[in-house]
């Protein structure tokens, strides 16, 4: 490139630079304010809270639902076993619902159910069993049944079943929706904790050893689930943070917001 062309390029760059600077003048006077935009669509009150409540309910329901194939096996075992028709149980297992509750209490786990069956045989099936042993067996089964029935009652409240009553839910005060969500999640946590505790309790090797020597010895080993103050018992029936107390609070919250 010649000297002339180099000088021309430099000149062009300088001119362009000056043109750009020359285009930037002092800030002008602020213009008039434009018209307001159109109002947005009206939102729904605490819609997000209702969605969270629905999610909490569905999680609780899914934890409660059981595998139908496993349930059939367990229910067949209940019907075939003479233990469940024992006079100590007062015809409780003539009801399909109570058979379902036993399945749900052990989370459709066939092995855990076999442990339940073994304990009942020791308590009411032996010649040496006493009326006290029969009461222990009845209390044990009642705890299993109630650990499922309290959740079943909540799941089948007409606010949730067969479909969510969204209009009614959205008419509730926001704090009520929040509390219901909290209570449902509390039930879910307790449900999982109780199922695990029952499994651990029934796997205790002392149950089989002591029960074989004398059924009356089982009362001490089953104390966590049949006695007031027992760890599992309190999670099911206790005054605070139990399945029963949470069920009662949920029903009360819903009924006072009719």
Across the chain, which has 258 residues, the per-10-residue mean pLDDT values are: 54 53 59 62 63 91 74 80 83 84 87 88 81 92 95 93 86 91 95 94 78 75 95 96 96 87
- How many CB atoms sit inside 10 A of residue 214's CB? 14
Residue 22: both structure tokens together:
């020359």
Residue 257 is predicted with a pLDDT of 79
Residue 97 is predicted with a pLDDT of 87
Helix 47-64 × helix 174-202 angle, to 10°: 20
Residue 127 is predicted with a pLDDT of 73
- Domain boundaries defined on the chain: 46-255
Residue 47 is predicted with a pLDDT of 62
Prior bond to 162 cis, omega within 30?
A: yes
Domain 46-255 has CATH 3.10.580.10: no
Residue 66 is predicted with a pLDDT of 66
Residue 21 is predicted with a pLDDT of 52
């Amino acid at each position: 490139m010649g000297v002339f062309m180099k000088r021309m390029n430099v000149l062009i760059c300088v001119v362009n630079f000056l043109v750009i600077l020359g285009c930037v003048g002092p800030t002008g006077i602020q213009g008039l304010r434009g018209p307001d935009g159109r109002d947005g669509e009206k939102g729904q009150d605490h819609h997000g809270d209702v969605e969270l409540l629905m999610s909490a309910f569905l999680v609780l329901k899914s934890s409660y639902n059981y595998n139908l194939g496993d349930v059939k096996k367990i229910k067949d075992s209940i019907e075939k076993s003479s233990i469940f028709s024992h006079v100590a149980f007062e015809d409780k297992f003539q009801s399909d619902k109570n058979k379902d509750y036993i399945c749900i209490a052990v989370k459709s786990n066939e092995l855990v159910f076999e442990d339940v069956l073994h304990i009942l045989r020791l308590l009411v099936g032996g010649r040496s069993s006493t009326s006290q042993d029969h009461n222990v067996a009845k209390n044990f089964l009642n705890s299993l049944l109630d650990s499922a029935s309290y959740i079943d009652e909540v799941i089948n409240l007409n606010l949730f079943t067969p479909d969510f009553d969204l209009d009614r839910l959205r008419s509730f005060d926001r704090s009520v929706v929040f509390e219901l969500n909290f209570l449902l999640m509390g039930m879910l946590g307790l449900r999982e904790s109780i199922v695990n505790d029952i499994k651990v309790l029934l796997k205790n090797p002392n149950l089989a050893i002591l029960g074989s020597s004398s059924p009356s010895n089982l009362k001490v080993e089953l104390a966590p689930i049949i006695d007031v103050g027992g760890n599992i018992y309190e999670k099911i029936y206790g005054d605070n943070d139990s399945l029963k107390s949470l069920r009662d609070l949920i029903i009360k919250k819903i009924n006072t917001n009719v």
